[in-house]
């Protein structure tokens, strides 16, 4: 393995509420199709969000995953395995059964951001009961010494933070450099950065970057709702679709799914005549941490990341910016303030802004990777996916935003993600 200077994306794999193939998702993005629908399986009427995006059970069934191997695990594990398989096939590195001879196992890295949603507490109930005092409070010392023995072993298995990376490593022979993050909306950005560093430093010759999450269960929705991130179901029809950058925005809708990207050195990709979705120019992350939950009101997080990324784009070239688009006023307002700062600093008007999160809904740990996949599909196929309604913003020209599906040839694509405390990550990709 040798160091390289240029890293490209050669494969995209998906399993999302909008589809599980590049073609089906591209078609949905072009049309501006939203996946928001009544959530299945449980009665969510008392939850803040009863609408969202979900992967139909029949989509999973068609892949015929081993029922014994995956039986006790949450859907995000299955999504991650399926998306990675699809990505490897799309890149021409895998025939559905085995890897080709391009890269040895120790050259194949894998970098994962995943959720651990569901099973957050029920597997601990017996341990809590064992460790309760007469007044009902929890005896922490007893819990640590004896009560922990009453933790259900299935909870331990499903809550291990690196179990998806284990499955990907064993299923596809990805035994090279690796890393993972758990339950972070912006974690995919950090994993992308780690994968690029692995390739450019010579630790890996190719790498899988995967984001996967499945939050459609009552416990995960309860946790996220308590953070104030989900839409308010009391507001009727407005809660049935995410409306980023609008005064009518009432919050995110929950979703699930996975996206995996295949990264290789550009020289290696061209040597094997691989399809190239785009060249990665720069990644960047920033967090002001002015608040535990919210980004800084002045938008400094977005301004730092977007401004830095765009400084690596040639001026006069068009750039499609896939904004975070949380559909929460505090997040959207901060993002727009940051966008204003960047526009004022740059002086040129070669950007067009949109968001894909309102189409997929918010998949949290998988969101950055899914949004990046949407960006490179638009970059490769020369189109722009639209916002649902025209943003109502002060100080920004409305023509800056894409509100109608249209063909759009752009030279660069930017994908942004923002998590709690203003933790922001992004990437600049160049069309080749």
The residue range of the domain holding 395 is 282-430
Q: Please compute, for residue 427, the number of CA atoms within 13 A of its CA located in the half-sphere on the CB side.
A: 30
φ, ψ at 181 (rounded to 5°): -130, 155
319, 241: one domain:
no
Nearest Cα to Cα of residue 263 among 169, 198, 352: 198
247, 151: one domain:
no
168: enclosing H helix or E strand: helix 163-172
d(CA 371, CA 280): 15
pTM for the predicted model, two decimal places: 0.90
Mean pLDDT score, 24-30:
97
Q: What is the pLDDT of residue 365?
A: 94
| Within a domain: 114 | yes
Structure tokens at 120: 């957050």
61, 94: one domain:
yes
Nearest Cα to Cα of residue 23 among 306, 381, 355, 328: 381
pLDDT tens-digit readout, 114-145: 987 655 556 666 777 778 888 877 787 887 78
| Within a domain: 170 | yes
Final residue in a domain of this structure, among 208, 241, 271? 271
Mean pLDDT score, 359-385:
97
393, 421: one domain:
yes
pLDDT tens-digit readout, 202-226: 999 999 999 999 988 877 887 788 8
Domain count, the chain: 3
């Amino acid at each position: 393995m040798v160091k390289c200077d240029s890293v490209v994306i050669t494969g995209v794999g998906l399993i999302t509420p909008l589809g599980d193939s590049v073609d089906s998702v591209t078609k949905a993005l072009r049309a501006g199709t939203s996946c928001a629908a009544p959530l299945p399986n449980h009665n969510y009427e008392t939850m803040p969000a009863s609408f969202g995006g979900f992967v139909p059970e029949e989509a999973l069934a068609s892949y015929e995953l081993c029922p014994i191997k995956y039986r006790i695990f949450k859907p995000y594990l299955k999504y991650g395995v399926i998306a990675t398989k699809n990505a490897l096939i799309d890149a021409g590195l895998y025939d559905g059964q085995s890897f080709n001879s391009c890269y040895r196992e120790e050259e194949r890295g894998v970098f994962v951001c995943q959720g651990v949603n569901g099973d957050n507490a029920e597997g601990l109930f017996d341990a809590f009961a064992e460790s309760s005092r007469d007044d009902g409070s929890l005896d922490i010392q007893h819990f640590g010494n004896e009560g922990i023995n009453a933790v259900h072993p299935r909870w331990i298995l499903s809550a291990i933070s690196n179990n998806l990376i284990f499955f990907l490593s064993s299923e596809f022979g990805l035994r090279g450099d690796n890393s993972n993050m758990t339950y972070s909306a912006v974690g995919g950005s950090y994993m992308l950065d780690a994968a690029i560093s692995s390739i450019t430093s010579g630790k890996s010759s190719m790498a899988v970057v995967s984001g996967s999450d499945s939050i459609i269960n009552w416990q995960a929705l309860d946790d996220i709702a308590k953070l104030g991130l989900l839409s308010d179901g009391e507001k009727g029809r407005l809660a049935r679709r995410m409306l980023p950058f609008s005064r009518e925005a009432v919050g995110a809708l929950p979703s699930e799914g996975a996206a995996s990207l295949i990264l290789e050195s550009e020289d290696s990709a061209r040597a094997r005549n691989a399809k190239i979705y785009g060249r990665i120019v720069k990644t960047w992350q920033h967090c002001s941490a002015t608040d535990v939950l919210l980004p800084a009101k002045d938008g400094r997080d977005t301004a730092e990341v977007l401004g830095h990324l765009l400084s690596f784009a040639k001026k006069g070239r068009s750039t499609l910016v896939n904004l975070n688009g949380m559909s929460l006023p505090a997040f959207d307002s901060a993002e727009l303030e940051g966008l204003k700062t960047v526009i004022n600093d740059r002086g040129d008007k070669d950007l067009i802004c949109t968001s894909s999160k309102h189409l997929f809904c918010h998949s949290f740990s998988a969101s950055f990777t899914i949004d990046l996949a949407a960006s490179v599909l638009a970059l490769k196929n020369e189109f722009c996916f639209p916002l649902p309604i025209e943003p109502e913003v002060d100080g920004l020209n409305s023509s800056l935003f894409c509100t109608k599906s249209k063909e759009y040839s752009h030279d660069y694509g930017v994908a942004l993600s923002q998590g709690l405390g203003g933790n922001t990550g992004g990437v600049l990709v160049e069309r080749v």
